[in-house]
Chains A and B, each alone.
Chain A
Amino acid sequence: MKNWFSQVFSVTRFGVLSIPQRRGSVAAAVIGIAGVVAVLAGVLSIAAGFRRVMTQSASPDSTIVLRSGADSEMVSGFSRENIRVVADSPGVAAGSNGPLASAELFVIINLPKRSTGTDANVPLRGVEQAAFTVRDNVRIVEGRMFEWGKNEIIVGTGAAKEFAGLNVGSTLKVGKIQWPVVGRFEANGGMAESEIWTDATVLQSAYERGDTFQSVYARLNSPESFFMFSNSLAGDPRVSVKVMRQSDYYSEQSSMMTKLITSLGVLIASLMAVGAVFGALNTMYSAVAARTREIATLRALGFGSGSVVISILLESLALALIGGFLGAAIAYIAFNNFHTTTMNFQSFSQVTFAFRVTPALLIQGIIWAVMIGLIGGLFPALRAARLPIATALREL
């Protein structure tokens, strides 16, 4: 056994030492594999970043209530009476000023993107006081909170970064109404950071919405209270609503986009991987061809064909791993934390997010690289092992 290992070791060493002589083809294979890993991790990081933003904000005990049949806040609607029914339902946590339920309005306004100057649909949300206890991660990081009852707005960090005219201290003109930007807030990287917030009653009058709302965000006593809450609302003849956990709601909202990006990303990466397999096969076949005589000599000296196969596989794997790590590094440097915006197709509003090259994605990329290396090395290795010794030696 020891002998076998030393055979593998010496044949591998021999292969690795000859790499400088085959610089070109080795580099081609390594870069090909790096390309696959970079593209795979890069494209999937878009989906990962988008999903994170959409699901980040939700704690398991928070829910959202929409009118039944509505698939987003945009098309939902409630009267003040409906809101009371929802807020007084069993299961809603009690705060110091009544139930922890915030009735909200959601509209979109036109603002130019900083990067391109083209119009974007930016979400403008009207909230009630409870909003800040329902979502406990919202905090002002610049300026101050808006005053209730005044035409003042606070902007999410993501929105302030991506859209023009949202600096604290400036004034936003929407239609005929002036909205001073008095503060900027963070929401732990969540969805709310893409939005602009103001007092719901102020927004009602600005948009001539009467005393209506579009959604209720409520915090429950515990995650388990959800069933009590939703059953009680389902059985209430006064309202016809759809109750969802906030996390479910947002993951449903993000599903279309993440599915689209993921399927396209995997499609592109698989095609590239096929190309990279051909590249690796080419490299290893020529590596074997260039060493035909040497391998035959070793075999004639008594080296086993198994050790030849293993050593060629090892060499191919080593190249694949180098390519894989290179690609992972490129993906991380080029894509991680790249800020951009896209559209949430369910509400046509903009979501700002950052690409996230997660460790899971990097590992996935390396696994792909290893597979490419294995396939690319296996066939050439088998050929080397099957080489008839006498014929090969005659090439001397």
Chain B
Amino acid sequence: MKFLPLIWSNLKRRKLRSALTLLSIVVAFILFGVLCAIKHALAGGVSYAKANRLIVRDKVSIINLLPETYKERMKRIPGVAAASHQTWFGGHYQDQKNFFMQTPVVPEEFLEMNPEVTMPEDQKKAWFTTRTGAIVGKSLADKYHWKIGSKIPIQSPIWAKQDGDHTWEFDLVGIYESSLKGADQALLFRYDYFEEARQVAKGKVGWYTIRVQDAQRAAEIAKQIDREFENSSSETKTEPEGAFAQGWASQVGNIALITASIMGAVFFTILLVTGNTMSQSVRERAGELGVLKALGFTNNQVVTFVLAESLLMACLGAGLGLLLAWALTARGDPTGGMLPLFSMPARDLLIGAAIAVALGIVTGIFPAMNAMRLRVADALRRI
């Protein structure tokens, strides 16, 4: 620790160069953070999935609906703890650009299935008793300045009411929060109202979420559910929530691959720039290192000096970069609705920190080895 001032003054000797190197590291880690947020936005559903939840959908196509009567049949299958259903409503608020998820649910079942959704008790009660009542996530309510009691008209191109009208009006009775970041951006309304008011496809729902008693047996129960409806007019495909989300993400494209390759390109570039600067500055200081050795500093101490310098640089840059990336992504979705999950997961901060340490070691190790091998006589001759 007492050598810290020495390391610090080494960094200060060429202020401009140190600053530029530091800034490129900062930029690299901002980029790292932003890429992590993008990846999370596109594939984040996977990490939110619970092992004890299954998704049941129509085997032939996601657009085919399933009978609502399947719920009771599924609940009778041993190991199934609860079942709830949702239906794609596909509407928008005022303008097509104002798009978010809406779905009819059975309120009690939905809240039981999704314990991460929290709401004041009186609002829950109001939802249970108001037929045209709907609840929205907090982010959504803030975005459109909705308050309890607001009337929210939603145009659904898919669903018409009995009179042929495609505009549905809901009474906002509750605003929920979710412990999962970014998952509070949906409008949920009551299935009984939907079922009564809709013109077509009565008695049909979009897909089911199943909770099993024992996550270990999830795969087996999924098979059992599919067998239950085999050879019926609506065969099902049941899979764990994680696999479903993964499948959805892979439909969007090979995000992981593309992100990883960009990340690789960026880090390779940064490594090169920093590594080069580090070794340059050590070469220039060969004489001084010789003096240190002549004064009795051991090889190990000299290696530590050089390594500590690069580690300090890498960690300082990474810390700043991650901080900025976090600040940048904390404001949420930059695209205005396309990436509701845009945020940087805490796990990626740790990965970033690990990469910073690795960067420090890799860029410092070669100059450090050179410094160790330096012969005092040669070094002193250069002064």
Contacts and interface: CB of A to CB of B under 8 A. Distances in A.
Contact of A263 (B24, B96, B334): B334
A27 B62 contact: no
Contact of B280 (A24, A70, A256, A348): A24
A118 interface: yes
A31 B272 contact: yes
Interface in B326-381: 334-335, 338-339
A69 interface: yes
B252 A272 contact: no
Contacts of A71: 96, 157
Interface in B212-261: 235, 237, 246-247, 250-254, 258
B158 A75 contact: yes
Contacts of B158: 75
A272 to B, nearest CB: 6
A109 B61 CA distance: 5
A285 B15 CA distance: 12
Contacts of B6: none
Contact of B24 (A27, A115, A175, A279): A279
A121 B17 contact: no
B272 to A, nearest CB: 5
Given A71-B96, A119-B247, A256 B338 contact: yes
Contacts of B103: none
A280 B253 CA distance: 34
A107 interface: yes
A75 B59 contact: no
Contact of B62 (A108, A341, A342): A108
A48 to B, nearest CB: 15
A379 B258 CA distance: 35
Nearest to B22: A278
Interface stretch (A32-40, A132-140, A152-160, A299-307): A32-40
Chain B interface: which size bin?
Answer: 35 or more
Contacts of A263: 334-335
B280 A286 contact: yes
B42 to A, nearest CB: 10
B251 A350 contact: yes
Most interface-central of B28, B235, B269 (chain A CB within 10 A): B269
A43 interface: yes
B265 A25 contact: no
A286 to B, nearest CB: 7
A120 B253 CA distance: 11
Interface stretch (B30-38, B73-81, B127-135): B30-38
Given A121-B251, A272-B31, A278 B273 contact: yes
Interface of A: 24-25, 27-29, 31-32, 35, 38-39, 42-43, 46, 67, 69-71, 74-76, 107-110, 113, 115-116, 118-121, 174-175, 256, 259-260, 263-264, 267-268, 271-272, 274-276, 278-279, 281-282, 285-286, 340-343, 345, 348, 350
The 6 closest A-B pairs by CB, nearest first: A275-B27, A75-B157, A278-B24, A342-B253, A35-B269, A28-B276
Given A24-B280, A108-B61, A271-B34, 13 more contacts: A27-B272, A28-B275, A46-B258, A69-B155, A108-B62, A119-B247, A271-B30, A276-B269, A278-B273, A281-B20, A285-B16, A286-B17, A343-B253
Interface of B: 16-17, 20-21, 23-24, 27-28, 30-31, 34-35, 38, 59-63, 90, 96, 155, 157-158, 166, 235, 237, 246-247, 250-254, 258, 262, 265-266, 268-270, 272-273, 275-277, 279-280, 334-335, 338-339
